[in-house]
Structure 1
Amino acid sequence: MQACAGTKYKPSAKVSSGAKYKFTKETQKLNKVIRIKDIAEKANVSTGTVDRVLHNRGRVAEDVRQRVLQIAEELNYKPNILARALVNNKTYQVAALIPDPAFDSYWKAPQEGIEKAEEELQQYGMRVSQFCFDPFSAESFVKEAEKLAAKPFDGILVAPVFYRQSLAHFSKWKRQGIPFVLFNTHIPNYEPLMYIGQDSYQSGFLAAKLLHYGNKENASFVVAHIEEDVANSSHLISKEQGFVDYFVTQELESKYNVVQIDVQSGGKQSITQQLDKLFKDTPDIRGVFVTNSKAHIMADYLAQKKLQQVHLVGYDLIEENLAHLNTNRINFLINQNPKGQGYWGIQGLADHLIFKKKNNPIKYLPLDIITKENLHYYIEADQ
């Protein structure tokens, strides 16, 4: 193990400086790597028999099988999974069905995470084919999913941003025995291999808590879904529910009014008109929670209208949001670690396909609260 730069090793007070460490038979036994050959010698069988028992292949007498397993346990045998994967020479073809970053820059980060994981896993035979769809078009999602189905894949990573359209493909993959991993949106009913991402409900709960801290007087708060098909996006519904439930659990429903708005796309003028109506109808708005990466659109509007009393919470460290965070037009961003979602999604498939490890069905990533003051730590860590 390499010591930390600039530090010197100081011997423990119990060991005098210059003393030599003595390797006893016990420590040598602990450090010894147990091989199949060692088990075979102790069990008085061939290495081939041990191999068949440990990998559950071929026929072996039951008494011999039990003896080999008992000796393997006594010797604390651990298979060298990495070495086995390296010599396996098998290629694992994995598909990544993901939104195209050309339509929304948020999706560049998970794509980078996927590519980073593939680069690390290439030596073990992992190959990833990307199928990119328009995140604003359910038809595009279906088209790419059908294109994927035309080829044989060992596993699939998917961002199921279109709930209804995803379900039919989940059923098909289950019937075909293809393991699939979800990221960004959790849909547990179809038993994916695992889900990587944030707890959407808790992130909405957190957003409400952040806005409440800065607004102790009676006020209205807005949950804004910007340019989204909310009815077909289960993660956005979960975020909104978490936001509302914060005020319910704190018994604050009578003090704070929660207003929901679906801001439809249609150009800057159309968005401005929709928001003008919102603020006219609800003049006591003191906080806005944007449920996706489009907080910068709301920040542009608040700056244009000089609504400095309105606090703003959103998601994701995309360039447009960071500009507003640095000028205090966005108060907080919740980092969803999209790069980590893509990276751990591919790693999860590798654990299952290559390394034969059991996956935890859910890998929640931390809810990191980003401010102007701590932003640079996250930017540096991601480089």
Structure 2
Amino acid sequence: MAITLQQIADLAGVSRGTVDRALNNRGRIKPEVEQRIKKIAKDVGYKPSRAGRALAMAKKNIKIGVILQLAQTPFMKDVLIGLKAAKLEAESFGASVKIHKINGVNPTEVIQIMEKMKSEKFNGIALSPSQDNLLIKLIDKFSQEYNIPIITFNSDLENTARLCFIGQNAVKSGQTAAGLMGEITNGQGQIIIISGHEENPSLQQRADGFNREISISYPQINNLGIRYAYDDDWVAEKITDEILDKYPNLKGIYITGSGVLGVCKSLQKANKIKDIKIIANDFINDNIQLLSNGTINFLIGQDAYTQGYQSIMLLFYKLFDNKNPDSKFAYTDIVIKNRFNI
């Protein structure tokens, strides 16, 4: 039988209204009393009813907005699956969630959508940001002046007043890739990075972590730097064609984001699959197939579903229960796959 608020009130020696205020963080109660009530509720396994939560949510009229950049990329399509699952869950409690998709990187459009959400009285926003000074200032303004909490996911703008970041520790991911690259090339030869958009903070942090670890741990490797393919397979293919022509003895390529199909197509044309080691990111279908057939040596995963799902749900908890995330950084696991454990 479910525990009721009145039963908790009887155990705590307070009124039912006091229990309601304590469990819903509504104030007007002594801190020590609130703590005692919450401990009793936890000890007896109290769970608020779904109907009750939905009614309370309807009264609050909570609106959550999501802005998803690079929506056309395979990885972000997986993030969208998590977003849609969280949208269904939050809306089942009476909240409303609106997801805006942007193809490519367009901070101007992000800013326009944020301003529109403010005018439409959205209570919180989750977004995948890009490096842009105006966007940085606006995140701070929303968080501090408008009291509209912002959660970033997939990529982060760390030095802002955002509530928290959900995603991979990109620097450590890059360091992980460097360690793998150093081992499979025996710490020798020429390597290069192919990245997406220069404005994507996550991709830049991966490259920074990779470069730093290569220089420290594998000084005999000749790191040729970074090229940008803008998450476009055709551009990635043409860049790789040029690289192979200029550096015929290339030993490794680290792909920080999208463009994997283009790189691999170039290698196949040049008959270089067995000669050049490839480390890429994300467990999307095309990448898994290339890993399985030996074209890619390693894939590094970052849990797309969780990034999407948690970005909405943490806002939900904040707006409904006034519960802050446990940390400013909700890092997802860094998972390494090769063709034997995919």
Provide the residue aligned with 1:199 in structure 2: 169
Q: TM-score, normalised by structure 1?
A: 0.76
Question: Residue 163 and residue 322 in structure 1: after superposition, are their counterparts in 2 closer, same or farther (change >3 A)?
Answer: farther
Long gaps (5+) in structure 2 = none
Q: Secondary structure at the match of 1:153?
A: coil
Supply the AA of the counterpart residue of 2:316: A
CA displacement 1:40-64 (0-9 Å, x = unmatched): 5874x6544665677676878xxxx
Q: Could you tell me which of 101, 108, 125 is aligned with 1:156? A: 125
Q: Distance in 2 between matches of 1:108 and 1:70?
A: 42
Supply the AA of the counterpart residue of 1:131: H
Q: Could you tell me which of 105, 113, 118 is aligned with 1:144? A: 113
Displacement of 1:368 after TM fit? 1.2
Displacement of 1:196 after TM fit? 0.7
Supply the AA of the counterpart residue of 2:226: I
Question: Residue 81 and residue 221 in structure 1: after superposition, are their counterparts in 2 closer, same or farther (change >3 A)?
Answer: same
Displacement of 1:303 after TM fit? 0.9
Q: Distance in 2 between matches of 1:357 and 1:160?
A: 23
Question: Residue 181 and residue 68 in structure 1: after superposition, are their counterparts in 2 closer, same or farther (change >3 A)?
Answer: closer
Displacement of 1:205 after TM fit? 0.6
Question: Residue 280 and residue 33 in structure 1: after superposition, are their counterparts in 2 closer, same or farther (change >3 A)?
Answer: same
Provide the residue aligned with 2:150 in structure 1: 180
Q: Could you tell me which of 235, 241, 249 is aligned with 1:284? A: 249
Provide the residue aligned with 2:321 in structure 1: 355
Provide the residue aligned with 1:76 in structure 2: 40
Long gaps (5+) in structure 1 = 1-30, 376-383
Supply the AA of the counterpart residue of 1:301: S
CA displacement 1:13-69 (0-9 Å, x = unmatched): xxxxxxxxxxxxxxxxxx9958445645874x6544665677676878xxxx58956
Displacement of 1:201 after TM fit? 0.3
Provide the residue aligned with 2:281 in structure 1: 315
Question: Residue 183 and residue 70 in structure 1: after superposition, are their counterparts in 2 closer, same or farther (change >3 A)?
Answer: closer
Q: Distance in 2 between matches of 1:71 and 1:329?
A: 59
Displacement of 1:301 after TM fit? 0.9
Supply the AA of the counterpart residue of 2:299: L
Q: Find out whether 1:107 has 2:76 as its counterpart.
A: yes
Displacement of 1:100 after TM fit? 5.6
Q: Secondary structure at the match of 1:259?
A: strand
CA-based RMSD: 3.2
Alpha carbons 1:36, 1:51 under 8 Å: kept? no
Within-5 A mapping of 1:301-340 = 301-307=266-272, 308-340=274-306
Alpha carbons 2:3, 2:46 under 8 Å: kept? no
CA displacement 1:97-144 (0-9 Å, x = unmatched): 11263x323221111111101212323222210112122444443443
The structure whose Rg is larger is 1
Q: Find out whether 1:171 has 2:140 as its counterpart.
A: yes
Q: Distance in 2 between matches of 1:149 and 1:233?
A: 25
Q: Distance in 1 between matches of 2:163 and 2:156?
A: 12
Q: TM-score, normalised by structure 2?
A: 0.84
Question: Residue 132 and residue 51 in structure 1: after superposition, are their counterparts in 2 closer, same or farther (change >3 A)?
Answer: closer
CA displacement 1:156-203 (0-9 Å, x = unmatched): 110003443521320231210001111011222113211110000000
